[in-house]
């Protein structure tokens, strides 16, 4: 007989008080102990994977070899629904380096998202991005960039509440400064698209 429970079985883990306090210091926002541990496990898994983004140093030159990630993002603009399939650089290593203890190292390293929209479903069918109007495609692009930044760096970008906000360079500059994000990304992922 196969028995399946409708809920996960909970357990307890015994920790010293000092270990519990250190764990709580690693919390982002109002994370529970379980959420903190799951996030730390994900970080360790990402670091141990050989497929991920790597920083390569030869002599006094530092470069980055990115892993390409794929993502499907559902977007609704007014009454129009979109499904956007995009590729972008894996930035998880740089998100980890945003940690306070690694912050000095991360300031020396710049990165780019290099987001490409591969396919778009506009309501009833898939369309090649080349066949989407430029303004509409750029709007989808900036929404995707915002989504990836929020998910990767665990931040909330409240500066973008309507379509015009995405085309306001001052909003992007504010975000990149506030969260100490890469100047290379601001220039290549944002400024070049706004020009």
pTM: 0.70
**Tens digit of pLDDT for each residue in 36-51?**
888 777 766 655 555 5
Q: Find all residues with CB under 8 Å of 140, minimum gap 6, and list them.
A: 75, 82, 84, 117, 120, 132
Q: Find all residues with CB under 8 Å of 182, minimum gap 6, and list them.
A: 94, 109, 110, 111, 112, 176
pLDDT, mean of residues 129-146 = 94
Compute the distance between CA of residue 185 and CA of residue 183 in angstroms, rounded to an integer.
5
CA 58 to chain centre: 28
Which is higher by pLDDT, 91 or 58?
91
Compute the distance between CA of residue 129 and CA of residue 137 in angstroms, rounded to an integer.
7
Residue 52 has pLDDT above 80, yes or no: no
Domain residues of the chain, as ranges? 17-48, 67-194
Q: State percent of the chain over pLDDT 90.
A: 43
**Biggest CA pair distance of the chain:** 64
Specify the pLDDT at position 62.
60
């Amino acid at each position: 007989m196969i028995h399946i429970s409708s809920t996960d079985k909970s357990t307890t883990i015994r920790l010293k008080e000092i270990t519990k306090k250190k764990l709580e210091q690693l919390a982002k926002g109002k994370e529970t102990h379980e959420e903190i541990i799951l996030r730390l496990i994900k970080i360790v898994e990402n670091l141990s994977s050989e497929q991920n983004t790597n920083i390569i140093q030869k002599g006094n030159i530092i470069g980055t070899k990115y892993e390409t990630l794929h993502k499907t993002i559902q977007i609704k603009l007014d009454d129009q629904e979109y499904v956007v399939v995009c590729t972008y650089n894996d930035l998880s290593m740089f998100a980890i380096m945003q940690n306070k203890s690694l912050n000095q190292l991360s300031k020396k390293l710049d990165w780019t998202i290099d987001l490409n929209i591969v396919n778009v479903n506009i309501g009833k069918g898939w369309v090649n991005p080349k066949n989407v109007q430029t303004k509409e495609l750029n709007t989808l692009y900036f929404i995707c960039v915002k989504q990836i930044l929020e998910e990767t760096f665990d931040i909330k970008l409240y500066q973008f509440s309507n379509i015009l906000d995405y085309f306001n360079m001052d909003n992007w500059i504010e975000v990149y400064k506030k969260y100490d994000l890469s100047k290379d990304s601001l220039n290549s992922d944002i400024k070049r698209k706004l020009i």
